[in-house]
Structure 1
Amino acid sequence: MRIALLTEGTLTNAQRGEGGWCGRLVSGLPEHEFRLYRLLPADRPAPPSGVRGLHGVHELPMWGRRPAGRGPTPLRRRAYVRAYEELVRALVAPGERAGFGPALYRLAELGREDDALPAFLASGHAHRALERIWRMPGADTAGGQPLVCDVLVAADLLEQCLRPLSAPWYGTGPAGLGGADLCHVVGGGPAALPALVARELHGVPFVVTEHGLHLREQYRGYRSAPYRWPVRALLLSFFRQLTEETYRQAAVLTPGSAYDRQWQQRCGSDPARTRIVHEGTPATGRPAAGKEPEAPTLVWAGALEPGRDPELMLHAFAHVRAELPGARLKMYGEEGAPGYLAHCRAIAERLGVEEAVEFAGLPESPAAAWESGSAVVFSALAQRSPRLLADAMLSGRAVVATEVGVAREVLGPTGLLVPPRSPRALAGACLALLGDHERRSRLGLAGRLRAQERFAVEPVVGAFREIYLELVSRYPAFPARPGTRARPFARPAEYWVAGSGESAAPARPAEAAPLVTDKRAGVTLVKAGPALAEAL
């Protein structure tokens, strides 16, 4: 079947490169034809896809300068203004949120007809419509009236977010989303807009995979965004309603953890259409770490920033050092906040453990970091991704972590969990492991086996193979027309003949299928026609 992978060009570590998540999916399902559709930052060179086996890569500049083009005619401009006003009203009026989806699809329909949507969104007509609706009584502006500068900034950001609506990807040929059997959205957010439009126009079902929720990252990012509160409120409302519409229309949601599934359900996802598929990693085949260092050593890994709470690790290590003077601490990671490395060094000096603490920076590889210690410690205030925890477990070293986010789900009974912001509890867990070699070995082996079982690549590929087949069997290849009945597997085999292209006409009806004789085998074969394909 033909599958369209939709993602943003700024790929996460899980998606980047030939060995990334998308690459492993494509190489693990060679029986399917994958095409990559990605949104890229404008005015930047397009990075290589890094995925072998793709049958095509289609790109759309999104963030940055608006693409060239003419605006709509005065007569059509009225339809654009009405649809845009309905969209903005859904963003700022709590009682009008039901109009978000229809307004979105109406703008996409108008843009397909005359390619004037980007120019309209950047025009003064759109700015005036935004200002008029945004300042109406009862509008949600996050405690302040929007200024003229807010209107200009918000209009520009909305224009960039809505660019996928006017992408040239909605044809019905093999290269268009209308010719795909299904769409697979990787990451969510604006990358889901083409899938929503393809579903609305052509009835193409889509799957959403999120390893770290897009909406959650938007809420975190807009805390420090250089915009006033009205602009932040408007954009967060857009992303929230886009996420809700995506979850409502998606055929299947595949979060990477039960922690992410809970977030999705809070945004209105249907549990019956949600299936957890853990993020597979090729590191499951990596050999376990070798011999432990002679001195009892704790390894801490993560960015040096408040969210990772290295201060908790340093205070806990001071307690460990008091009980076990020969203990050492290695902290791997680069500075995530300006001046935070110097701040951590000052804390270690004040606690009197600076001689036993090594700030080692970025390691050659995660495996080398885990091997340099006797046990691995995570002290984060929020653990949104299971990736680093699983990698540490695969080393065969015992793991201690604060009980936040996905930690309990990933570690289970194979690690030690402690409350966050509790130096004494963290120190007690570390001392319990450093003082018992047999327990460290037992927990390390159990953690490695658990990670190999949950995060192997083969179960992930097998899960999506089943999901794809299930969706195609339940959804028609062509949406039903008035007076006809939609049929699954409605495309005959002749549709997929190479070179059929966009202009491929349906196969001719045949009362009797032609006979083809295979002289080598001495048998007579029947060439399948549309009637036979329909009967099957």
Structure 2
Amino acid sequence: MRVALLTEGARPHPNRGAGRWCDRLAEGLPEHGFELYLLTGPQGPTAVDHLPSVWRGARALALWGRRPRGRAPGALRRRQYARAYEQLVRALVMPRERGGFAAGLYGLAELAREDREDATLPAFLASAHARRVLERVWRLPGADTSAGHPLVRDVLVAADLLEQCLRPLSAPWYGAGPGGLGSADLCHVVGAGPAALPALVARHLHGVPFVVTEHGLHLREQYLGYREAPYRWPVRALLLAFFRALTEETYRQAAILTPGSDHDRQWQRRCGADPARTRVVYEGTEAVERPAAGAEPQAPTLVWAGALEPGRDLELMLHAFAEVRAALPGARLTVHGEEARPGYRAHCEALAERLEVAGAVEFAGRPASPAEAWAGGTVAVFSALSQRSPALLADAMLSGRAVVSTDVGVAREVVGPTGLLVPARDPRALAGACLALLRDEERRDRLGLAGRLRAQERFAVEPVIGAFREIYLEVVSQYPAFPTGAGGEGGGSPRPFARPAEFWLADGPRTPGAEGADGASASPEYAEAV
């Protein structure tokens, strides 16, 4: 089957994009034809130049930066755009009109598709007319302005950000022709957020089902990121309302959701996801093939790894280490990670001085590889206030080192009974767990081996590939073929099994003349079988 992979490749925010995960998926399912549709930063189409060969022919759209050139709509068309845009904005700011988001979104998508040759939608969204619509609706009586009354500069900033968020609606990807999403059998959205917009449009216009994979929830990351965004609170509230509405519509329309952990699955349910359409698929990692770490260091050493920021709570680790050091004078602490909050490393170094453990604490920076970090320690310790991703925990477990972690986020789900879990913000409990392992070599070895086996079982690549092989077949089996389009060109009605099995073979009928008008093969064998 033809699978369209939709993901973000670059954003103003770090740590986004699918990366190697999409490569492994396409390489693991060679029986399917994958095509990549990439939302990028200002580099636009040039972003596909350095992709692996498996993505030859990938398509890219610049999501951020200068808007594409387009022709402003005429008077009649402008009114149609304004009506759809107003409906969408009212859904964002009027509490009683939340249900109008989908209608406004699809209204803009249909207009943009009709005017795709002229790129009219970006031109309209950047026009003074669209800004007036936004300003008028935003200041209506009853509008939600709990974040503050919007100023003129807020309208200008918000209009520009909304244009960038809605830019995928005007992508030249829609239609049932070659390269169009309408001819795909399935869309696979990796990362959600704006990457889900093309899948929603393809679902609306052509009936193409889509699957959503999230390794870390896009909406949660937006809430965390906008706390420090360089915008006033009214703008932040409006954009978060957009992402919240987009997430709810994505979860509502998706055929299957595949969160990367049960912790994320619970968050998705709070956003309206249907539990019956949710499958937890852990993010596979090639690190499962890595050999376990070698011999432990001579001195009892705790190793801590992560971004140097308050959320990782290195202060808790330092307070706990002070108690460990008092009970075990030869103990050492190695801290691996780069500074994510300016001044935070200096703050932690000063705290180590006050606790009189600075001589036993090494700030080693970013290691050459995670395996190198774990190999230099006796016990791996995680002291975060929230643990949203299982990746770092799983990597530590794969090293064969025993793990101590605060019981937050995905920690209990990932570590399970193979490590020690302690309450967050409790230095005494963290110190006690570390001392228990440092003093008991047999227990360390037993937990380290159990943790490695557990991580290998849950985070191997093969189970991920197998899970998506089954998910793709399950989704496609529940959706009929659309030989003449659904809701789009031709107006044909769906026909289950409209294409014979031999259609999907590499040497099967792929040219327009090889099929009948209804998409079925004209071969006598097929006619006889029917």
Task: Establish whether TM, by shorter chain, passes 0.5.
Answer: yes
Match of 1:104 in 2: 105
Is 1:399 aligned with 2:400? Answer: no
Match of 2:225 in 1: 221
Distance across 2 between alignment mates of 1:509 and 1:487:
12
Residues 407 and 424, structure 2, Cα contact 8 Å, conserved in 1: yes
Instruction: Report the AA paired with residue 86 of structure 2.
Output: E
Show the 5 A alignment for 1:74-223: 74-115=75-116, 116-223=120-227
Partner deviation per Cα, 1:131-157 (whole Å, 9 max, x = no partner): 111100010123422111111110000
Partner deviation per Cα, 1:204-242 (whole Å, 9 max, x = no partner): 000000000000000001101111111111100000000
Is 1:488 aligned with 2:492? Answer: no
Match of 1:21 in 2: 21
Q: CA deviation at 1:78?
A: 1.0
Match of 1:31 in 2: 31
Residues 261 and 276, structure 1, Cα contact 8 Å, conserved in 2: yes
Show the 5 A alignment for 1:204-283: 204-283=208-287
Show the 5 A alignment for 1:320-339: 320-339=324-343
Instruction: Report the AA paired with residue 487 of structure 1.
Output: R
In structure 2, relative to structure 1, the CA distance for the partners of 1:298 and 1:178 (3 Å cut) is same
In structure 2, relative to structure 1, the CA distance for the partners of 1:185 and 1:415 (3 Å cut) is same
In structure 2, relative to structure 1, the CA distance for the partners of 1:276 and 1:148 (3 Å cut) is same
Distance across 1 between alignment mates of 2:336 and 2:74:
59
Instruction: Report the AA paired with residue 399 of structure 2.
Output: S
State the SS of the aligned residue for 2:227: coil
Distance across 1 between alignment mates of 2:517 and 2:128:
53
**Alignment equivalent of 1:387, drawn from 388, 391, 395:** 391
Q: CA deviation at 1:509?
A: 7.2
Distance across 2 between alignment mates of 1:51 and 1:319:
50
Q: CA deviation at 1:61?
A: 1.0
Single out whichever of 7-16 and 103-112 deviates more from structure 2. 7-16
Q: CA deviation at 1:485?
A: 5.3
Residues 23 and 50, structure 1, Cα contact 8 Å, conserved in 2: no
In structure 2, relative to structure 1, the CA distance for the partners of 1:347 and 1:136 (3 Å cut) is same
Indicate the percent of aligned positions where both proteins have the same amino acid. 72
Instruction: Report the AA paired with residue 68 of structure 2.
Output: P
Distance across 2 between alignment mates of 1:476 and 1:308:
48
Q: Which aligned runs of 4 or more in structure 1 are off by greater than 4 angstroms?
A: 11-17, 479-485, 492-501, 526-529
Residues 284 and 464, structure 2, Cα contact 8 Å, conserved in 1: yes
Match of 2:420 in 1: 416
Q: CA deviation at 1:48?
A: 4.3
Q: CA deviation at 1:339?
A: 1.3
**Alignment equivalent of 1:346, drawn from 342, 345, 350:** 350
Residues 3 and 32, structure 1, Cα contact 8 Å, conserved in 2: yes
Q: CA deviation at 1:491?
A: 2.9
Single out whichever of 77-86 and 35-44 deviates more from structure 2. 35-44
Residues 9 and 18, structure 2, Cα contact 8 Å, conserved in 1: no
In structure 2, relative to structure 1, the CA distance for the partners of 1:426 and 1:500 (3 Å cut) is same
Root mean square deviation of aligned Cα: 2.3
User: TM-score of the superposition, structure 1-length normalised?
Assistant: 0.92
Partner deviation per Cα, 1:377-423 (whole Å, 9 max, x = no partner): 00001100000000000000000000000000000000000011111
Single out whichever of 23-32 and 172-181 deviates more from structure 2. 172-181
Q: How many residues align?
A: 518
Residues 15 and 22, structure 1, Cα contact 8 Å, conserved in 2: no
Partner deviation per Cα, 1:175-194 (whole Å, 9 max, x = no partner): 11011000000000000000
In structure 2, relative to structure 1, the CA distance for the partners of 1:64 and 1:496 (3 Å cut) is farther
In structure 2, relative to structure 1, the CA distance for the partners of 1:114 and 1:315 (3 Å cut) is same
Match of 1:461 in 2: 465
Residues 48 and 58, structure 2, Cα contact 8 Å, conserved in 1: no
In structure 2, relative to structure 1, the CA distance for the partners of 1:454 and 1:389 (3 Å cut) is same
Instruction: Report the AA paired with residue 515 of structure 2.
Output: A
Show the 5 A alignment for 1:289-328: 289-328=293-332
In structure 2, relative to structure 1, the CA distance for the partners of 1:200 and 1:10 (3 Å cut) is same
Instruction: Report the AA paired with residue 359 of structure 2.
Output: E
In structure 2, relative to structure 1, the CA distance for the partners of 1:22 and 1:509 (3 Å cut) is closer
**Alignment equivalent of 2:366, drawn from 362, 365, 375:** 362
Match of 1:517 in 2: none
**Alignment equivalent of 1:373, drawn from 377, 394, 407:** 377
In structure 2, relative to structure 1, the CA distance for the partners of 1:532 and 1:231 (3 Å cut) is farther
Residues 6 and 36, structure 1, Cα contact 8 Å, conserved in 2: yes
Distance across 2 between alignment mates of 1:414 and 1:424:
21
Residues 43 and 65, structure 1, Cα contact 8 Å, conserved in 2: no
In structure 2, relative to structure 1, the CA distance for the partners of 1:165 and 1:348 (3 Å cut) is same
User: TM-score of the superposition, structure 2-length normalised?
Assistant: 0.93
In structure 2, relative to structure 1, the CA distance for the partners of 1:490 and 1:311 (3 Å cut) is same
Gap runs ≥5 in structure 1:
515-525
Residues 91 and 97, structure 1, Cα contact 8 Å, conserved in 2: yes
Q: CA deviation at 1:51?
A: 3.7
Distance across 1 between alignment mates of 2:394 and 2:314:
20
Residues 81 and 129, structure 1, Cα contact 8 Å, conserved in 2: yes
Distance across 2 between alignment mates of 1:96 and 1:363:
51
Distance across 2 between alignment mates of 1:318 and 1:8:
43
Higher helix share: 2
Residues 185 and 208, structure 1, Cα contact 8 Å, conserved in 2: yes
